[in-house]
Structure 1
């Protein structure tokens, strides 16, 4: 239980903060949306408990915050945050108050009523003042002063700014504001405000060691006693005691400090009671010194315990409310999910059928596409093969036959040497015909592949050309892909054809070797070779490179003029 007057007062901020709290309670509920009845009821319940049970008040404000939608009712949302921050501020939970009130900052742009902005800025200023962050306190009090509000709120803002200046030890600037306030008719007509202003002037003089301090402090004390402002009177006694303490008058300092302590004890004002006890202890001796020292220690421990308990309670209320809200959201979500399950189940079969139908269509389209593509490739390959055979027949075989026929017509075949030449020409035509036939014959890739490969290679052996094979039987041909077998066959065939046409080689060596992951084949002949720097790869050599690349292999060619010809190629197993 916190008395109403105690709840709205703190020593650091003057009595104008009391006026601030009253105005916030009045103005923050002037306008309430009709479509937010539940939030209004919770705010009303919180205000009912404000001066009876702070925990209950905070609970209802927090509950209102959780169900209030800031996008629909921004003013109520900001008001609730202000109220919660005020409760935390009064009970000493300054860090919690700052956390709560800063939640309102993102929504201030949507506030049209300056009263709500004024309340938020003032609460922020007070929070930072209690935390010792005087620069931020000064900033937000000035923001409150800049708003278009009534004269009373401007007076409160000015008083708060002067209080910050006093805390910053800028006493001359603070005095200018307090003097200005003391001459305002709104202050002069209200004894409570006037007494507070005079007391503030006296405090500034006290800090600057001005002897006029006692006059102003006593004037404020007199007015407060006349109007029975017990809290203000207790504080005035404390300020007078501070004056006598600085004036080295321990008796008067102790006397006024004891009066302050008695009055503040009745009102349960713990902060200023501690300050009064400090002055009593400082100006006491012997038994009184021990008595009041024990009171000071016990009161300090009690304050810490109460404030820590309040902080924990506020945190627990927030946590419990958040947990409850999350549980409600989970229940609502679970219900919504259950409602959607049936609908999803209904749609699932339809979607499945559509997906299956689309998949079948795509499979059919892909099948016909691949089949058509394969047919086109077969036709294209047959056409290319026929074209190549036709070209060879025309360019090579036809020319040889023509020259042979011309030789037979123009030479005397009765001569032995002419007959031998004719036979040699006919033998060459036969060999060329056989080569063309082999190049386009079907390649066996089954278990008889090695035999077929040996026959093809041995077919290039003549009385002038010796062929040497090494390692052919060590290769696991049954593990090698069909396309790779065909490629090896065609590449070696291409190399041997080129050898017989151009190289004039007498010795050819072909070596087969298997490594961990690759098959390596080396071809070497002792022909006349070529100049690799000037060579333009085309025809046969181009075919070799192209074929090996298609099976992800690599080719390495080494040759020079009159130094033979060597090709090494490998491909993955």
Structure 2
């Protein structure tokens, strides 16, 4: 549907034989048919309004109709939160407001559009339209004779255009011409001439854009005239007029050139030539009935004498009043369009509210039922979570008691070993040492047999002494540190694997001093093994599990692997079990890595610092 709509619009735009009234009727009919069709795509409708606004502005000279469609498009785009398209519609409105001399309105609209473009993603098109809006503001302030502001905005527009992608020579030349015009109106003729020369340096401009070339040449000539540099005048005026008439005989641009010629000859006291060109400008401008006709009448009132001058002065005043009334009427019409559109929108809002209330009443019972179900479900979940939490707390208390009991046993064992060591060293060993001394003193008997026997006893006593000393040292040396924690793990694995019908293999590095590991770390490691075994039993369908403890760079490395069915690690990351494991690892500043392959198994690797 949208392609048919756009095709028809383009067809009527190209078909110049169709009367303007018929064009307007047909386009409105197409739009009404489209809007009233079964398709209710707001974006397509807004685009249709925008396209029609563009056609009215560029081809039909229908400022009010263009304003209406731009305004409709802008409202729909705004409701869709489409800032870029809203800014484009506002740009069209701002240009129309400027053309109809609603300068304040055009300024406000342009600034609103720029603020919207500042929020959207920066693209070549967004920068291009921002430069157009700055250019429009420059033209607005030029009309208001606020030339500093006008120059500032034109420079902003020119800077953006210079950084656009693609061939932008034409639009850059347009900005330079507007900037030069602002400098000329301000009286800074040297700067104006500099920019005009930059444009005219393009030797292909006269062939590519002859009408624009003539416009720039005329502005350049007029700037020379205002700066009292008349050496190339009126030759430049005639050249510009010749080019304009060759492109569009009696066209709009020739009005200004003829006015400048009349002004030039009047300054030279050549009344006949001045009147000739002034009347020629008036004749052409009567077709447009705008400010150019007003300026032609003012020019004739200054060139003519006596009653004729007075007549044109009265016509000037009458036309000026008429144009001002017309401008006010157009501005009022714009305000009326906004008001009527807002009234329609309010009515649509009222209807939408009524439908919304019906929908709300229909949905309230469903929502209430759903909320009640959610409350009951949540309560049950809370009870379950509290039970699980209580169970976990109880398990931790039991485990802490186990560890505490194990520590008490180890402490008692150590004390007992120390007592036996002291007893052997200080009691038995002392007595044996005394006996050896006694026997040694008896060695004074020089009998060979006595000496031989005593020597044998003394050697035997020495051997006993060494054996007792060896036992004493071994008793005073600790057993493998932390073997109690490994015993707890073994007991837990034997119990759980029997319940889960699994076979297990446990390997541990004897260099790990579990007594130096904080109880909190051991509790978390115990719980992680417990959670892993639970997951293996619940999800993996495994038959065996391998667990190993290794020490690397003062970091305990725990590896648990099974031969189960495996799972998708990314999908399982949100599970409570894995979240608890990650939380425990984070609490001891460790790390966890899970690798799982379907039908192969799962490997959980944990690194936990000793301290």
Q: TM-score, normalised by structure 1?
A: 0.52
User: Following superposition of structure 1 onto structure 2, how do residues 298-447 of structure 1 map, counting pairs within 5 Å?
Assistant: 298-341=318-361, 343=363
Give the distance between the partners of 1:343 and 1:37, measured in 2 at CA: 31
Alignment of 1:73-472 (within 5 A): 73-109=82-118, 110=120, 111-112=122-123, 113=125, 114-147=127-160, 148-149=163-164, 150-189=168-207, 190-212=209-231, 213-227=233-247, 228=249, 230-268=251-289, 270-341=290-361, 343=363
Aligned mates of 1:315, 1:226 — CA distance in 2: 42
Deviation at 1:348, TM superposition (A): 8.6
Higher relative CO (Cα under 8 Å, sequence separation at least 6) belongs to 1
| 2:566 aligned partner | none
Supply the distance in 2 between the matched residues of 1:159 and 1:345 (Cα, whole angstroms): 68
Aligned to 2:75: 66
Secondary structure in 1 matching 2:304: coil
Match of 1:505 in 2: none
Q: CA deviation at 1:343?
A: 4.9
Which whole-Å CA distance do the structure 2 matches of 1:65 and 1:345 have between them? 38
Larger radius of gyration: 1
Task: Give the equivalent residue in structure 1 for 2:400.
Answer: none
Aligned residues: 321
Q: 2:45 aligns with which of 38, 44, 53?
A: 38
Contact 2:42 2:76 in 1 (8 A): no
CA–CA distance in structure 2, aligned partners of residues 272 and 58 of structure 1: 23
Q: Which residue of 2 aligns with 1:461?
A: none
CA distance in structure 1 between the aligned counterparts of 2:292 and 2:356, rounded to whole angstroms? 56
Deviation at 1:198, TM superposition (A): 1.5
Report the 3-state secondary structure (helix = DSSP H, G, I; strand = E; otherwise coil) of the residue aligned with 1:248: coil
Unaligned runs of 5+ in 2: 1-12, 14-40, 373-611
> Is the partner of 2:101 in helix, strand or coil?
coil
Q: Deviations over 1:425-456 (max 9, x none)?
A: xxxxxxxxxxxxxxxxxxxxxxxxxxxxxxxx
- Are the aligned partners of 2:46 and 2:73 in contact in 1 as well (CA < 8 Å)? yes
Q: C-alpha distance in 1, partners of 2:322/2:132?
A: 31
- d(CA) in 2 for partners of 1:53 and 1:133? 29
Displacement of 1:350: 12
Residues 347 and 219 of structure 1, relative CA distance in 2, 3 Å threshold: closer
CA drift at 1:207: 0.9
Q: Distance in 2 between matches of 1:43 and 1:351?
A: 45
Q: In the TM superposition, what whole-angstrom CA distance separates every residue of 1:312-338 from its partner, at most 9, and x where no partner exists?
A: 111111122122223322322332234
Shift of residue 70, structure 1, vs aligned partner: 7.4
Secondary structure (helix, strand or coil) at the match of 2:234 reads helix
Query: Structure 1: any 5+ residue segments left out of the alignment?
Result: 5-33, 353-573
Query: What are the superposed Cα offsets for residues 214-252 of structure 1, whole Å, 9 maximum, x if unpaired?
Result: 222222122222322621111101011111222333333
Distance 1:70 1:154, change over 3 A: farther
